């Protein structure tokens, strides 16, 4: 794979660390469907150092440590200006700057972070404050941005409210931490993996269940104020709708296959006035939210490093994917070799 010099408005990045996200597995498995093409360089939870800047770039300089936002955004369209740059229609354009034998190949989610070097638009490279480790920054790039934003940006939870989180991977556990910071008092979590449940309790969960039926049997009162689905399964999405109280909010975060359909009882849904909300990357505003998240990291309120369960070099990328596929640990960070 060849990586070009950065063009106008672009930067080249020497990658330091990239987390393995469940979404990478779904893409690799081929069930996302059209638009998620092959060959692809996956990896979108990425931190690195700016190597070179192209003409017209002023926001970062060579040598700056950065986290990459996992989608391009133009910065001036309807969605960008209305505060939801993750909905920018240009996020799917201009992704692919690396080439294989002269043909452009896909940089997964506009990043392609399982590589030592890549080129992205400068708007996607967000400077890191001093003292934030690259591996922690990488986890912020997708898991934290998505889980935290699902709670604060999408659900807009209120202090003293109740929350159920289904799925305790990187996104679900980030949602647990966000809920605690936002003042949610009851935080119920569901995951079949006992280690993940134990970590969720450490991070602020107040009730833990190893099955969805366990959660549904223990729903408080009329249901939870907010339910958040972070497992990417149709059955758990339907359970999240069921577990919400009348007037409650359901946020669907997990990435299901492209042909999956959710079934909800229509009359019940109408008459209970529930609010069912989608969520892409936590409605992240890269230049607003990353700075805030890193302040929470630096002040010890957001112990993101606890989500990192394994570290493997790029040469062991297959093992890293196997760990993620087995649901072993939380986040595996793939570290890049020093450049030669």
**Binding footprint of Zn ion on the chain (CB under 5 A):** 21, 23, 73-74, 77, 80, 88, 142
Q: Which C-beta is closer to Zn ion: that of 17 or that of 142?
A: 142
Tell me the Cα Rg of the chain: 20
CB of 263 to Zn ion, least distance (A): 26
CB of 189 to Zn ion, least distance (A): 19
Q: How far is CA 276 from CA 44, 187, 242, 255, 306, in A?
A: 27, 19, 11, 15, 30
Residues 128 and 65 sit within 8 Å (Cβ to Cβ): yes
Q: Which C-beta is closer to Zn ion: that of 77 or that of 219?
A: 77
Residues 148 and 253 sit within 8 Å (Cβ to Cβ): no
Question: Which contiguous run of DSSP H or E holds residue 52?
Answer: strand 45-53
Q: Which C-beta is closer to Zn ion: that of 175 or that of 215?
A: 175
Which positions ≥6 away from 86 have C-beta within 8 Å? 71, 73, 79, 280, 281, 282, 283, 284
Q: Which C-beta is closer to Zn ion: that of 161 or that of 281?
A: 281
Alpha carbons 249 and 148: distance in angstroms, whole number: 16
Residues 147 and 282 sit within 8 Å (Cβ to Cβ): yes
- The alpha helices in the chain, defined as continuous H runs, are 22-29, 78-81, 134-139, 145-149, 170-181, 194-203, 212-217, 234-243, 266-272, 286-298, 317-325
Q: Which C-beta is closer to Zn ion: that of 88 or that of 215?
A: 88
CB of 45 to Zn ion, least distance (A): 6
Q: How far is CA 122 from CA 2, 53, 72, 165, in A?
A: 19, 8, 9, 34
CB of 109 to Zn ion, least distance (A): 7
Alpha carbons 87 and 333: distance in angstroms, whole number: 27
CB of 97 to Zn ion, least distance (A): 19
CB of 73 to Zn ion, least distance (A): 5
Q: Which C-beta is closer to Zn ion: that of 27 or that of 224?
A: 27
Residues 98 and 112 sit within 8 Å (Cβ to Cβ): yes
Alpha carbons 330 and 303: distance in angstroms, whole number: 14
- For residue 144, which of 302, 321, 324 has the smallest C-alpha distance? 302
CB of 8 to Zn ion, least distance (A): 18
Q: Which C-beta is closer to Zn ion: that of 122 or that of 184?
A: 122
CB of 204 to Zn ion, least distance (A): 22
Q: Which C-beta is closer to Zn ion: that of 201 or that of 311?
A: 311
Q: Is 319 exposed, middle or buried (0-12, 13-18, 19+ CB in 10 A)?
A: middle
CB of 323 to Zn ion, least distance (A): 15
Q: Which C-beta is closer to Zn ion: that of 80 or that of 189?
A: 80
Alpha carbons 235 and 215: distance in angstroms, whole number: 13
């Amino acid at each position: 794979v060849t990586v070009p010099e950065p063009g106008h408005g672009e930067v080249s990045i020497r990658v330091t660390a990239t987390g393995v996200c469940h979404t990478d597995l779904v893409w690799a498995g081929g069930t996302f469907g059209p638009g998620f093409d092959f060959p692809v360089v996956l990896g979108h939870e990425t931190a690195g150092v700016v190597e070179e800047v192209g003409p017209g770039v002023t926001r970062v300089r060579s040598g700056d440590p950065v986290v990459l936002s996992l989608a391009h955004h133009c910065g001036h369209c309807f969605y960008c200006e209305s505060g939801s740059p993750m909905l920018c229609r240009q996020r799917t354009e201009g992704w692919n700057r690396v080439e294989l034998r002269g043909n452009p190949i896909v940089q997964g989610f506009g990043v392609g972070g399982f590589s030592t070097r890549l080129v992205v638009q400068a708007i996607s490279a967000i400077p890191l404050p001093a003292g934030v480790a690259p591996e922690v920054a990488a986890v912020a790039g997708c898991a934290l941005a998505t889980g935290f934003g699902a709670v604060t940006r999408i659900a807009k939870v209120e202090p003293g409210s109740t929350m159920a989180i289904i799925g305790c991977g990187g996104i679900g556990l980030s949602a647990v931490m966000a809920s605690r910071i936002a003042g949610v008092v009851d935080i119920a979590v569901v995951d079949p993996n006992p280690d993940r449940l134990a970590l969720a309790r450490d991070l602020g969960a107040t009730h833990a269940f190893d099955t969805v039926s366990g959660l549904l049997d223990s729903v408080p009162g009329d249901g939870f104020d907010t339910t958040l689905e972070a497992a990417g399964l149709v059955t758990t999405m339907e359970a999240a709708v069921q577990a919400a109280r009348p007037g409650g909010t359901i946020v669907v975060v997990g990435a299901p296959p492209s042909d999956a359909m959710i079934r909800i009882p229509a009359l019940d849904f109408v008459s209970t006035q529930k609010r069912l909300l989608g969520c892409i990357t936590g409605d992240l505003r890269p230049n607003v939210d990353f700075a805030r998240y890193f302040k929470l990291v630096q002040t010890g309120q957001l112990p993101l490093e606890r989500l990192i369960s394994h570290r493997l070099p790029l040469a062991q990328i297959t093992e890293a994917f196997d760990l993620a596929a087995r649901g072993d640990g939380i986040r595996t960070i793939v570290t890049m070799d020093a450049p030669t």
